[in-house]
Structure 1
């Protein structure tokens, strides 16, 4: 059978080949069009960015990484014209609504923040720290019951796994006053952690190809995705969240002062409740677990820092006899933890070296605003649309990965020194001493303030800052203090150290440790 195309006669087979050729040509043209606007920006391995290349690096056809803290603060500023990219769509917990982290419309996000921030700031949730205390106590009881070394008997513990057990139960405690019970059973109930570990790399990969993600959202493919009807994995977690929300709404019990009740009191509808509470388990558990793994490994492999932290903790407790009780219920308060400078330095140094969400780009889109800039030494000032960062012109529509560059910023040897890759909490104590001799507004220009400004980017900044930042700090300080106070830790086999990988967050595989009661 002959087919007429543009006045030419083709056989059916020739017509199919012609159509396929056109599709291939269209694909090539599309890719070239995406490449051309940023052809002047180098493309390199993300792990080499901070040392070998400039502060603006191309990582995808229309995406760049920016390793400039001032630029990142400007991009996220209160009056910024930058907006979140479509990448945020893939982080919905369920299909029918958004949570505070992936709402793209500034006005809608502002409204959601008004409803959720009272919970995160503690204004409505005065019992949150008690929730952390209960989870830490459960963690300690698990170690004492199964893993604390006795004479002639020591059961190795996978710290990477147990850290995630702890953070999930901790989120359950503060989100709706009911832990999953993972620590009590010492088991990944319903394979929730397995699902998170396998799902996060897929989400990260899909973030660089939104076309594939869009296809996965279409019927009937989306029916194959995790949902609340499943008995294991993410579906089981959503089912558990739904069960707690339904119970709370049906009982109309306002005696609880947790995150869920605050959300209800501020008028979040059911769909939004499911998104926000589900976000707690995904974002809150993975990121803090990532911090605990990497920071603990740094402590175990740096004897000077390890010893200094235990000395500080021992001195604190010896000066407070009423606090010397090491029962699992006697947990350090955050107010006390804040008075321990070396503990604070350990937390900041841990965040600096291994920002938890390093592989997630959190991209913002260059706006169509008009700029005037000199693009090279030999060129006059030119007026164009887009933005210029560190002398590099970025056209409208370019996506700036505002998180990937933080890793390079936090290890920049020009700022942090030749030992930028070393775990050295003392750098924070030395810089903090300078602040005490500086008065007034000048304190904002001290090295300590500059260091804090760079590391705080781990949580985002200004209008795009992580809503749970303050809670994360409370949790990190408390759990590190209690684990280091109560036990002497060591690697089971120093010749086989843990393997560190990043598939969205830092994961330490085979992190086998010994825990000896002090």
Structure 2
């Protein structure tokens, strides 16, 4: 018996060794850190620490546009190649990595679903809702929450020349995005702004759970383990009173009202999903995803955008001049409309630069091809996970110029004077072909093609409105210039905590402009 056990152990060891050698050999022609061909440790350590986003950027600087980071993972840093792999008619489909984002396993959602036909069917049923078609008061709902956010700042966190009221802007902004998305998704506002608190510890538990979700995504077999009876008890449940489980509970409760014999019918986003044939189970899953994904990503864009603009004097002055000029000329309402915001060129340049410099989604989102394919001119065997490096793609000097490593909205526009006095003139596009290439690259932040983010339109409406409504009223000053962000981490989603600011009312506004900016939105 001992000899049999020894033989089995030896055979198992030999099998694992052969398998490891085979795995190393199939991708040995792709450069990367030496041990990455033999082990997942490099990748998993960076994923757990939250540093993978930046570390992948460093690898591309060292090894080139295609880098091996694990036995079956390679990362692409070429913008054109990423767009090609993510295109609508591409052979490349989602890898098992996406299964790690089942919020209520084993139930799938738009993020975790791998089946092309099921995914396409689900998107079709949800398209009208995300497009805002037939939804009552979409823009008004967003305006109302922004007004509450303005009121919160003015009532509790407005500093003066003699009084400092420090505020963690990163946290308060997330209260806003949670209330916006819950109003849109559930037809019921959570009330984070009203309570001025992290209700049911949602933000804290989400941040705490992100490292584990990232690890599960990179090692998919862990998902099966966590769905077992032993570990299921540790996963979020609709019976929980805090965190993601509480969101699942609210989603289950609200969705249940829309189905059955005594169902409630409303012309909101959930109502659109129901009207277009979404099942009750899928409605629960998608409503929870809207909260978890929609609030974090939009909050990141808002907090980093406001921070970057406020700490760049020339950018700040130029944006304020554009906003003030538009107000004086009657081109901006109170509150501003999405169409009016989109007509402000420098505002749009600031938003695009924010998405480029601070992408809210930094996960490697790997694709897999069923046959051998070329990536960056290199043969990649079938079944290989090919992800992207958001850092390398969005700071590509060939696309964005030699200054791609700095925050500069001016790269999207240029000032043409044509004999006019300094400070006058029109904003017009730079080299149109280069601009188009830049825009296509930044759009990768939202995915592309059949797997593109459906919430992009709503997120952009919110971002457009918030930037203007805040900068038309307030000045922002960072309280710790040496460390403006106390804590930053990336676990597929880029998150920031501790952006402490001094917010004061703008002193350079004349009385009429200030009144037109305040009265209507703060009602």
Using the size of structure 2 for normalisation, the TM-score is 0.86
Distance change >3 Å, CA 93–CA 411, structure 1 → 2: same
Find the counterpart in structure 2 of residue 394 from structure 1.
380
Pick aligned residue for 2:446 from 448, 454, 459: 459
Find the counterpart in structure 1 of residue 155 from structure 2.
145
Pick aligned residue for 1:43 from 18, 22, 32: 32
1:133 pairs with 2:122? no
- Check conservation: 1:134, 1:173, Cα contact below 8 A: no
| Other structure's SS at 2:489 match | strand
1:70 pairs with 2:80? yes
Please tell me the root mean square deviation across aligned C-alpha atoms, in Å: 2.3
Q: Tell me the CA shift for residue 31 of structure 1.
A: 3.0
Find the counterpart in structure 2 of residue 364 from structure 1.
367
| Other structure's SS at 1:94 match | coil
Q: Tell me the CA shift for residue 321 of structure 1.
A: 9.0
| Other structure's SS at 1:400 match | strand
Q: Per-residue CA shift, 1:319-372, capped at 9, x if unaligned?
A: 22984xxxxxx42110110111111000000011121111x121110222xxxx
Q: Tell me the CA shift for residue 4 of structure 1.
A: 5.1
1:31 pairs with 2:35? no
Find the counterpart in structure 1 of residue 321 from structure 2.
311
Find the counterpart in structure 2 of residue 187 from structure 1.
197
Q: Tell me the CA shift for residue 504 of structure 1.
A: 2.5
Aligned length: 474
Distance change >3 Å, CA 124–CA 352, structure 1 → 2: same
Q: Tell me the CA shift for residue 435 of structure 1.
A: 7.6
| Other structure's SS at 1:207 match | helix
1:494 pairs with 2:481? yes
1:472 pairs with 2:472? no
Q: Tell me the CA shift for residue 25 of structure 1.
A: 4.2
1:163 pairs with 2:206? no
Mapping of residues 61-460 of structure 1, within 5 Å? 61-249=71-259, 252-254=263-265, 256-320=266-330, 323=333, 330-358=334-362, 360-368=363-371, 386-401=372-387, 404-430=388-414, 446-460=433-447
Gaps of 5+ in 2: 34-54, 417-425, 507-523
| Other structure's SS at 1:64 match | strand
Distance change >3 Å, CA 116–CA 151, structure 1 → 2: same
Distance change >3 Å, CA 397–CA 321, structure 1 → 2: closer
Distance change >3 Å, CA 211–CA 24, structure 1 → 2: farther
- Check conservation: 1:172, 1:179, Cα contact below 8 A: yes
- Check conservation: 1:67, 1:408, Cα contact below 8 A: yes
Distance change >3 Å, CA 396–CA 144, structure 1 → 2: same
Gaps of 5+ in 1: 6-14, 324-329, 369-385
Q: Which moved more, 1:285-294 or 1:111-120?
A: 285-294
Give, in whole Å, the separation in 1 of the partners of 2:151 and 2:350.
25
| Other structure's SS at 2:128 match | helix
| Other structure's SS at 1:249 match | coil
| Other structure's SS at 2:239 match | coil
Give, in whole Å, the separation in 1 of the partners of 2:415 and 2:230.
57
- Check conservation: 1:50, 1:409, Cα contact below 8 A: no
Give, in whole Å, the separation in 1 of the partners of 2:361 and 2:226.
24
